[in-house]
Amino acid sequence: MHAPHRPGAGELGEFLRSRRARLAPEDVGVVSYGARRVPGLRREELAQLAGVSITYYTRLEQGQSGNASDAVIEALARALRLTDDERAHLHDLARPRPGRRRRPARPDTASQGVRQLIAAMTEVPALVLGRRTEVLAWNSLAHRLLAGHLDPDAPDRPVDRPNLTRMLFLDPHTRDLHVRWEEEAARAVAALRLVAGRHADDRELAELIGELSMKSPAFAALWSRHPVQTCVSGTKRLRHPVVGEFDLDFEMLHLPGDAGHRLMTYPAAVGSPAEAALRLLQADLGAETLAVRQRA
């Protein structure tokens, strides 16, 4: 039984150290004296660049100060040359949101309206994800595209509900599906880091991170680098066992409400190889459905 990972526990310091390490003194106009035991800026150099005392910065990096002002956080973000996603993540870690009163746990579900929407999208693979990348619902084409080896009704069962990040690192079928697996893995971990920073009290998320850290050395290595990046669109290179290899775009839309549900779609441009591949997949799905009806 693995110990659950606790997002937020010491992660502010880990994040600050990781970003200090990637900046060379000459990158930010700091004159370097003497040999350095580790790469990157020293604490005192970053503190000077940000305009804070070395004592205060050290306490912040060691997790001993939980009341950093917005001005200090912004000063550190500028000194570290953070991206917009990294800046937002720094705010989440430095000023964690107060935890809400816990309600009795109940399984998360996609709304009936969203289920009807993706079911009607017969030519576009579409699925609904929870904030931990668990699959709450998928249409037939998304199931066939991403996880034809799994039970199509699995999203309806919280106990063994598919999770895209878990599948990416622990399921051989999913790993084989992604031609550029390393790129996909880095993207998944960077997006999960953002979620972990915003929801430090999410026990199920902590357990997922703990499980992946224990079972996947690749996940553990990526997680330790503390990557942070929003990912709402892009292109995946897929190698499907039925229709072969092709590029497919994806779009992620955040659904209304505070549950963190997202609609993931895989649209194909008209006349593209991806459109031809999806049509073949639809035909294969239709042939299987017809065969099942004939046997019934």
Q: Is residue 5 part of a domain?
A: no
Q: Is residue 104 part of a domain?
A: no
Is 181 in the same domain as 217?
Answer: yes
Q: Return the axis-axis angle of helices 181-198 and 203-215, rounded to nearest 10°.
A: 150
Label residue 3 by pLDDT band (50, 70, 90).
Answer: very low
**pLDDT digits 0-9 by tens, 106-146:** 678 999 999 999 999 999 999 999 999 999 999 999 999 99
pLDDT the model gives residue 6: 45
CATH number of the domain at 155, please. Answer: 3.30.450.180
Is 61 in the same domain as 140?
Answer: no
- For the chain, list the strands marked E by DSSP: 126-129, 135-138, 233-240, 244-254, 262-265
The whole-model pTM stands at 0.83
Q: Is residue 157 part of a domain?
A: yes
Beta bridge partners of 244: 240
Label residue 249 by pLDDT band (50, 70, 90).
Answer: very high
Give the residue with greater pLDDT, 47 vs 2: 47
Distance CA 103, CA 99 (A): 12
Look at the chain and report how many structural domains it folds into.
2
Is 261 in the same domain as 132?
Answer: yes
Q: 101 pLDDT exceeds 60?
A: no
Q: What percent of the chain has pLDDT over 90?
A: 54
Q: 251 pLDDT exceeds 70?
A: yes
**pLDDT digits 0-9 by tens, 175-205:** 999 999 999 999 999 999 999 988 888 899 9
CATH number of the domain at 16, please. Answer: 1.10.260.40
Is 79 in the same domain as 122?
Answer: no
Is 129 in the same domain as 25?
Answer: no
Contact criterion met (CB below 8 Å) for 246 and 277: yes
Contact criterion met (CB below 8 Å) for 145 and 282: no
Label residue 281 by pLDDT band (50, 70, 90).
Answer: very high
Domain assignment of residue 64, given as a range: 11-94
HSE-CB of 240 using CA atoms within 13 angstroms? 22
Contact criterion met (CB below 8 Å) for 68 and 94: yes
Compute the C-alpha angle 179/206/134, nearest 5°: 50
- For 79-224, list the strands marked E by DSSP: 126-129, 135-138
Is 231 in the same domain as 149?
Answer: yes
Q: Is residue 101 part of a domain?
A: no
Is 66 in the same domain as 137?
Answer: no
Is 89 in the same domain as 171?
Answer: no
Give the residue with greater pLDDT, 287 vs 248: 248
Residue for token pair 């035991």: 37
Is 88 in the same domain as 126?
Answer: no
pLDDT the model gives residue 2: 46
pLDDT the model gives residue 46: 86
Query: What is the arithmetic mean of pLDDT over 52-58?
Result: 88
Q: What percent of the chain has pLDDT over 70?
A: 85
pLDDT the model gives residue 34: 61
